Amino acid sequence: MRYDPGLVLLSILLASLGGHVGFGFARSSRTATGGRRRVLLAAAAGALGLGIWTMHFVGMLAAELPAGIGYAVLPTLLSFLLCVLVVGVAVFFTAAVPPTPMHRAVAAVAMGLGIATMHYLGMNALRGVFCVGHDPLLVAASVIVGVAVSGGALLPFARPQTRLPLAPSALLFGIAVAGLHYTAMAGVELDLASLCAAASDELVLSEQQLAIVVALLGFVVAGGFLLYLLPDAPAAVAPVLPGALPPLELAPATAGGASATRPIAASPPAATVATPAPLRVPVRGFDGIRLLDPQEIVCLRAEAHYTRVFDGRREGLCDWSISEADARLEPRGFYRCHRCHLVRLERVRALHRAGKGAIVSLACEPVREVPVSRGRLAELERRLGLRATS
């Protein structure tokens, strides 16, 4: 089967652009919480699915197929929806759970199967004066190619960094999609003696109509990529004086279960301790290893055997476990309010009751919320001066 080289390159480019946007959303979801995290994960799956879909149909337009073919709308649409669903599993195991070897393997398999699902459902949408068959060996080879190269594309997400190198991952993603597609197309067998005709009530797109749809969605992919490249405005973080606690709000539970918020005057730390020896926290990120002063840190969160460190603007990974970080930082104004979270007491801006525990809001922009376990709530209130020491 012969192809238009220009359209082949365009198909790989569109898949790579969709991969860049999708991986970018997946990366951002790692530092998001609540509903925003879910939206970013869904956007990542959608962008990756759109990159796969546009690549496939641009690749189909690049192929020299018999005249008079069409594409049934229902299987074409279903191919995109199922692709997003399966790729969403890969996104979840990539960005929403700890990066263990098992999770990376599941993500690679899910990504490869998502690409294969899209391809073969898209091929099932073909209608024309022929029927389509597939070489079983090349079907298996195409899936292996998709899974293997997808694993390479997802590999940078296993590195303990905040700003992941998206360009290599995006390019490998484009190669994974194109590799599966063109390997599978090498095994396509067209039976020109048979007729794969549409049913009388089936809606079918011609090649010209499909080209218009793909062109519009290609502009969406390219536009999303350009928008993603726009730099964010610098975050404005309110200054916090050393040794002082910003104004704090306490939201105790009411009889009806609602929270009532009231201002609490700023209180100094409960006890003054001797100044410890200088300490720097090693944090690995895209720009190398930074040595942060504890005063620069807002909070820390456990992640497997490591600890995520947040400085108010970005996150990085520290080799310390959460227990080691607690032992080193507790004398420097930090408190382990949850088994997985350490907060700097000077950064606590508000405390809200939540069930049997609580939520603390930390002074940064946007505000970051951290859970407080029930067993540690009373001590946290004492540390903040909200409860008399016994």
Q: What is the pLDDT of residue 195?
A: 59
Amino acid at 9: L
What CATH number was assigned to the domain covering residues 248-383? 2.40.50.1020
How many other C-beta atoms lie within 10 A of the C-beta of residue 172?
21
pTM: 0.58
Helix (H) / strand (E) element for 132: namely strand 131-134
Q: How large is the average pLDDT for residues 26-49?
A: 81
**Max alpha carbon distance in the chain (Å)?**
91
pLDDT of residue 364: 87
pLDDT the model gives residue 333: 92
Which pLDDT belongs to residue 259? 46
Percentage with pLDDT > 70 across the chain: 79
Give the pLDDT of residue 309: 93
- 95-99, 156-160, 263-267: lowest mean pLDDT where? 263-267
Pinpoint the residues of the chain covered by CATH 2.40.50.1020: 248-383
* Exposed e or buried b per residue across 39-50, where buried means at least 16 C-beta atoms within 10 angstroms of its C-beta: ebbebbbbbbbb
In this prediction, residues 274-279 reach a mean pLDDT of 63
Q: Is the pLDDT of residue 238 over 50?
A: no
**pLDDT of 240 above 50:** no
Q: What is the pLDDT of residue 372?
A: 92
DSSP string, 166-189: HHHHHHHHHHHHHHHHHHHHHTEE
Average pLDDT over residues 47-61: 88
Are 245 and 384 in contact, with CB atoms under 8 Å apart? yes
Spatial contact of 335 and 345, defined as CB atoms under 8 Å apart: yes
**Per-residue model confidence as pLDDT tens digits over 68-118:** 788 888 888 888 888 888 888 888 887 777 667 888 888 889 888 888 888
For residue 25, what pLDDT is reported? 85
**Which whole-number Å values give the CA distances from 355 to 157, 253, 254, 261, 300, in the listed order?**
34, 8, 11, 15, 23
